[in-house]
Amino acid sequence: MPPVRKLLQGVIIGAAAASVSLILWGSGILDPWERQTWDWRARMLAAPRQATDDIVLILLDQNSLDWAVEENGLTWPWPREVYGAIIDFCRMAGAQAIAFDVLFTEPSGYGTADDKALAASMATFGRVAAPVFLGKSTGSQQRWPESVPLPPISAAGIGKQSPLNRKDILRFPRATFPIPEISSKSTVLGSVSTEPDSDGIYRRVPMFSSFDGQILPTLGLTPFLALHGNLTVHFDPHGAVLDQHKIPLDDGGRALLRYRGPSGTHKNFSAAAIIQSYLRLRDGETPGVRPDDLKGKFVFFGFSAPGLFDLRPTPVDGIYPGVEIHATVLDNFLSGDFLRHAPAGVTTTMVVGMAMAAALTATIFSSALGGMVVSAGFLILPAVLSLAAYSMGFWLPLMVQVAGVALALAISLIVNYSTEGRQKRFIKNAFRQYLSPIVIDELIRYPERLKLGGERRTLSIFFSDLQGFTSISERLSPEVLTTLLNAYLSAMTEIIHQEKGTVDKYEGDAIVAFWNAPLEVPDHAACIVQASLRCQSRLAELRPVFFEQIEAELHMRIGINTGPAVVGNMGSRTRFDYTMLGDAVNLAARLEGANKQFGTYTMISESTRQMMGDEFPVRELARVAVVGKKEPVVVYEPMFPDEYENRRRVLETFENGLKCFYDGRFAEAAELFSTIMEDDAPAARYYRKCQELATAKPENWDGVWTMTAK
């Protein structure tokens, strides 16, 4: 194809691929995959060491619950004066502020005095935040309670639109406040109404909400507001600014969180440790938790015990206490590194540019190897760029880039296939009915081999046949017979190809295959034995299925030999097959039939055994003289190692009997074979043979079992 035409083709393909991927992105179809890559990036680039030291968590964990029961007899829920002790310790330690991720919406079960004790501790500290639950249809109040202080935050915006009417401030008609004793003593109230993404993962948090004309911050911001008092949040097209801290918001008023790491990333203490330290400090003793650990810190209190049901899935941890999400909000706020969505224009430019580049490059490198290299490079590049963007604080959509590149590469491959490689398609179409896929690939690489003749090679040769299939097939309809053979041959052929073999031909139910041609297979003897054992195992799995169809059990006999043969294209100039010829081929066929004499189903020759080495255990079966051969051949039965171990006693007895047979001690051999012949078909055959020979008393005995039939 002329270069200019290739260039034009690449531009058109790139534009089409980019357009389709951008449409998919805009429609939301790619969102589920995008969220998964989001989590992958968050885990890849998590940086626990970047977590701010200004935040400390106090966690009511399982150890704290157990301690309360074992040491104090306190079952859940605890008296609220315990929370007061935690507040008092934070105050005494010099903490900046504390936020409770606990809904105090019902009076204490320990009485009004218990609520007042907590309220007193809150009032004494003066910088305590509590949560409010906001809802669309649930909530006990529709108006701001008179007893609750107004939020220490006001809103201002750019332009004529009131900030309260902005779409990025969530408006709620209902709310559930803490009980008056607690809400009246709270310095600031924060919303805990946070919804996960559609897949249940918490990746973002609504930063500001509106109820009854008031702006409520998310609970994560409340320790900062409790410390700094009345502040104004300024809204602009890019998000919000609070006390010179920029908060980028999406269209739903949510901030994308940059999780520092899994649960436990921020410094934390158990509630039990804090309570014990408070008691020690009150009594003039040295506390277990040093006050300096909380001095100048923003403190969050929440639950991490599994039974308290405040564990949430996040990108960095599947079990993440909800209070740590609020801590992450404050961490990102103080550090000024919330994630920001990359501008849509940047994303669009990236998609178009990468799709164009992928299409142009794939068009130029139309070879298979070049195509694979190009595909790998362009599919990795979006991930690299997205990770780089994440590290700089931007969320650059990944899947739309991958979709654009993948579509560009796929379309380019299709176009290349339809316009290039006509010679390859001719070879495949002309010979796919006769040759194995491996041979076809070899001919595509070396078309000059399309000539008559062959080469001499050492092959491992495979012959198989189904036992008694002729009589079985006579009572089957053509349709059932065809279905059966297709299923059987497909299953066996798949294994042969997986083990690097080439199927020569099918002759009814028989399969002829070979290894080490046309491609060299250094371990071809081991591969052919592995294939034979796998074929037998696969047939054993299919046997019950076939029995339901034909009411007969199928067993396969396999003969294997390794030796020199001529392999290549043989036939006429207009019709030929890639096949093999030679004595080694004939011996493999004879060994398949020799299985009948010994009651075995897989038999290999001495040459295969030697070349295979110790890859598979075998048992020596006999020295046989097959029909048409004068020299005897030692044959073996291979098996998987676990089968050999399970049958070790039988096989060792057989080996001893075989030695006696070779030595002409037929009575002794028969006695050994008789002990195992019920469990071993070859032993039963040898037992009968030994009885015959003991009567005949042959002269010049050489231990050879002479075959009388193929």
What pLDDT digit, counting tens, does each position of 119-142 carry? Answer: 999 999 999 999 999 998 877 788
User: Does the structure show a pLDDT above 70 at 167?
Assistant: no
Q: 3-class DSSP state for residue 48? A: helix
Backbone φ, ψ for residue 433 (5° rounding)? -75, -20
3-class SS of residue 342: coil
pLDDT-derived band at 430, boundaries 50, 70, 90:
very low
605 exposed, middle or buried (CB, 10 Å; 0-12, 13-18, 19+)?
buried
Higher-pLDDT residue of 416 and 658 is 658
The Cα 524–Cα 530 span in angstroms is 10
CB 541 within 8 A of CB 437: no
Q: Which residue has the tokens 């034979």?
A: 532
Give the tokens for residue 549.
């169809």
Q: Is the dihedral of CA 515, 521, 525, 530 positive or negative?
A: negative
Residue 304's SS3 state is coil
Q: For the purposes of burial, counting CB atoms within 10 Å of the CB of 49, is it exposed (0-12), middle (13-18) or buried (19 or more)?
A: exposed
Mean pLDDT of 96-118: 96
For 521-560, b/e burial (b = at least 16 CB within 10 A) is: bebbbbbbbbbbbbbbebbeebeeebeeebebebbbbbbb
Q: Is the pLDDT of residue 144 over 50?
A: yes
Strands 602-605 and 556-571: parallel
pLDDT at 433: 46
Between CA 316 and CA 707 the distance in angstroms is 71
Helix (H, G, I), strand (E, B) or coil at 620: strand
Residue 265 to residue 53: CA distance in whole angstroms: 11
Closest CA to 661 of 631, 620, 625, 633: 620
Q: Report how far residue 591's alpha carbon sits from residue 604's, in angstroms, rounded to the nearest whole number.
A: 7
φ, ψ for residue 594 (rounded to 5)? -65, -20
Distance CA(457)–CA(256), nearest Å, equals 66
Flag whether pLDDT at 166 surpasses 80: no
- 8 A C-beta contact, residue 300 and residue 92: no
CA angle centred on 306, ends 300 and 312, rounded to 5°: 65
Matching residue, tokens 């178009």: 352
| Chain position carrying tokens 């790491």 | 261
Q: 145: part of which helix (H) or strand (E)? A: none
For the chain, which domains are there?
3-33+342-419 (no CATH), 54-132+149-337 (no CATH), 422-446 (no CATH), 451-646 (3.30.70.1230), 648-710 (no CATH)
Over residues 635-640, mean pLDDT:
98
501: tokens are 């073999």
pLDDT category of residue 340 using cuts at 50, 70 and 90: very high
Helix, strand, coil percent values for the chain (each to nearest 5): 50, 20, 30
- Is pLDDT above 90 for 432? no
Task: Please state the pTM of the whole predicted model.
Answer: 0.59
Q: Around 628, how many Cα atoms within 13 Å sit in the side-chain half-sphere?
A: 11
Residue 249 near residue 255, CB atoms below 8 Å: yes
Least confident of 98-107, 273-282, 577-586: 577-586
CB burial string 284-301: b at 16+ within 10 A, e below: eeebebeeeebeebbbbb
Over residues 464-500, the pLDDT tens digits come to 999 999 899 989 999 999 999 999 999 999 999 899 8
Phi, psi angles (nearest 5°) of residue 466: -85, 130
**pLDDT tens digits, 309-338:** 889 999 999 999 999 999 999 999 999 999
> Pick from 59, 36, 49, 40: which is nearest to 324 by CA?
59
User: Which of 145-154, 250-259, 592-601 has the least mean pLDDT?
Assistant: 145-154
- Residue 459: beta bridge partners? 563
